[in-house]
A and B are shown apart, each in its own frame.
Chain A
Amino acid sequence: MKQAIEATGAIALNLKSTLFYIVAGARHGQPVRLHSVMNQIIQSGLLAVPIVMLLCGIVGVMLAIQGMQTLAIFGAEQFINIGLAVSIPKEFSPLIVGIVVAGRSGSQITSRIGSMRLNGELDGLTVMGIAPHRFVDAPTLLGLMISVPLLVVVGNFSALLLSGLYASLYLGVSFKAFMMSLIDLIQVSDYMIGISKGFVFAILIGGIALGLGRAVEGGADDLGRKTTASVVACIAIIIAVDAFYSILEQV
């Protein structure tokens, strides 16, 4: 328990320093470089597009199948578009994207920072007068904060498209007409909640992955442990925060 509290404190302090360099680094001669941010956007955003599209598409189809089976009990399958329009952009797309990014980028970030720490690269940066928080952590976090919400948009597109395709085929209606009704039913507020979840998940994934990477000590064994802990903690917190969003909505 004590260890968990200490780790949470260290993660929070690390996140605070990282946010400081994002906001005020340039004023103190420690600017966050755009090319490093772009590199992170490519790594955690662009390269994740295929898997996000695939998984969100599959989940969209599964939702359509399950939803229509349930609605069939009442003979109301044609109302599946209402369920899809609410649950995909607000709930499932951000959740799937969060889990994919936690698995892909969370582990990659923790192992990268951990290796840099073990190899003395972070100390090397410090003695050159280059703040590691600005050179390594800040572009990583900023890249995630930009790429994860964009991935939610990509996930929405794929999930809505494939679920719409399946539902229109199942119901025997025109795909175009079904998609038009689906898009009409999407509330801007639901869509924006989904995007905001992506933004919050990005900060949580970045904060945890960077913080645990910095906590690596000893050798390869601890690096492996922290990398695993990073993915588990990221996924757990994403689900918990997602649940918190739902509870907040009920209040």
Chain B
Amino acid sequence: MSLLEVTELRGGYGQNVVIDRCSMTISPGEVVVIMGGSGSGKSTFLKHLIGLKPPMSGLVSLSGEDLYSGTMVDRYRRLQQIGVAFQMGALVSSLSIFDNVALPLRETTNLPEDVIEVMVRLKLEFVELLDKQHLLPSELSGGMLKRSAVARALARDPKLVFMDEPSAGLDPVVASALDDLILKIREALGISVVVVTHELESAFKIASRIVVLDRGFIIFDGSVDQIRGSDNPRIQALINRTAEPMAFDPQEHYKRIMGTTEG
């Protein structure tokens, strides 16, 4: 059974549809990279997948259960099966790194404190932050913050972890170390990882499968080799980092600049 199944998802904000007819599955042990340019709908898609935004229509199933059915309490229970590492960490700013990683264990399990302490140290050691456990999130660098978020996402040993732009804003060395960490999560812990990114190099390094979102639609779902061989011009533009030429209409351009709707 797939860990996550998305069927004909349509979502957005208010009446504004941002993503439409999106379907995909995540199987155990996969690292799936969701790619797309700015404004392609990646972040909105992720919000729907991690329980932050009910879809307009379609289905998001976590281990065979509809994530959004029932009450909020049901949704919280289902969300306890996954881990999420946000782009900016989203750590509780008033808690130390240790307490942040311990938070999901303390709040959603009945484990004794000494067991929690060992589990937290294990996770912090895994992301190489054990010596920083007493610091507050504001005292960490960008890379450390992201690794702390990964440690918290792994705290409950979930089968599926989501990561939002893990390499964004990091220098190439730190970004590469984070890619290695993602591969280590899959290999050492057997956890499936869904990574949302627009960093090509990182995607090609870590992905066992790549899903490309473009203007709200999934236009590609396949392996790294398949995406390299794709003849879709939109995908080629994305992987070759070439801007799509836009037809220039002088009258339209004038209207935009002048802020008028009539010529």
Residues of A within 8 A of B (CB): 17, 28-30, 33, 115-116, 119-121, 123-131, 135
Number of A-B contacts (CB under 8 A): 68
Residues from chain A with Cβ under 8 Å of B90 in the complex: 119-121, 123-124
B97 within 8 A of A: no
User: Which of B82, B83, B93, B104 is close to A130, meaning CB atoms less than 8 Å apart?
Assistant: B104
User: Which of B72, B88, B89, B103 is close to A128, meaning CB atoms less than 8 Å apart?
Assistant: B103
Q: Would A129 and B92 count as touching, CB distance under 8 A? A: no
Q: How far is the CB of A110 from chain B (nearest CB, A)?
A: 16
Interface of B is mostly: mixed
Nearest B residue to A21, CB-CB = B73
Given A121-B91, A124-B86, A124-B92, does the pair A129, B52 have CB atoms closer than 8 Å?
no
Residues from chain A with Cβ under 8 Å of B28 in the complex: none
Q: Would A123 and B52 count as touching, CB distance under 8 A? A: yes
B80 within 8 A of A: yes
User: Which of A28, A29, A121, A126 is close to B51, meaning CB atoms less than 8 Å apart?
Assistant: A126
Nearest A residue to B92, CB-CB = A121
* Docked CA distance A115–B93 (Å): 10
B76 within 8 A of A: yes
Total interface residues on B, CB under 8 Å, equals 26
Residues from chain A with Cβ under 8 Å of B52 in the complex: 123, 126-127
Nearest B residue to A131, CB-CB = B76
Of A17, A124, A125, chain B has the most CB atoms within 10 Å of the CB of A124
Given A29-B77, A30-B76, A119-B93, does the pair A130, B88 have CB atoms closer than 8 Å?
no
Using an 8 Å CB-CB cutoff, how does the interface string of B67-107 with A read, 1 for contact, 0 for none?
A: 00000110011111011101011111100000000011001
Nearest A residue to B76, CB-CB = A129
Interface of A is mostly: helix
Q: How far is the CB of B157 from chain A (nearest CB, A)?
A: 13
* Docked CA distance A120–B82 (Å): 17
Q: Would B108 and A130 count as touching, CB distance under 8 A? A: yes
B6 within 8 A of A: no
User: Which of B51, B79, B107 is close to A135, meaning CB atoms less than 8 Å apart?
Assistant: B107
Q: Would A127 and B79 count as touching, CB distance under 8 A? A: yes
* Docked CA distance A43–B88 (Å): 28
User: Which of B88, B89, B104, B162 is close to A129, meaning CB atoms less than 8 Å apart?
Assistant: B104
B129 within 8 A of A: no
Residues from chain B with Cβ under 8 Å of A125 in the complex: 92
30 contacts across the A-B interface (CB closer than 8 A):
A29-B77, A33-B107, A116-B93, A119-B88, A119-B93, A120-B86, A120-B90, A123-B52, A123-B86, A123-B90, A124-B90, A124-B91, A124-B92, A125-B92, A126-B79, A127-B50, A127-B51, A127-B52, A128-B79, A128-B80, A128-B84, A128-B103, A129-B77, A129-B78, A129-B79, A130-B76, A130-B103, A130-B107, A131-B76, A135-B107
Nearest B residue to A133, CB-CB = B72
Residues from chain B with Cβ under 8 Å of A30 in the complex: 73, 76
* Docked CA distance A126–B92 (Å): 12
Residues from chain A with Cβ under 8 Å of B108 in the complex: 29, 128-130
* Docked CA distance A135–B103 (Å): 11
Residues from chain A with Cβ under 8 Å of B83 in the complex: 128
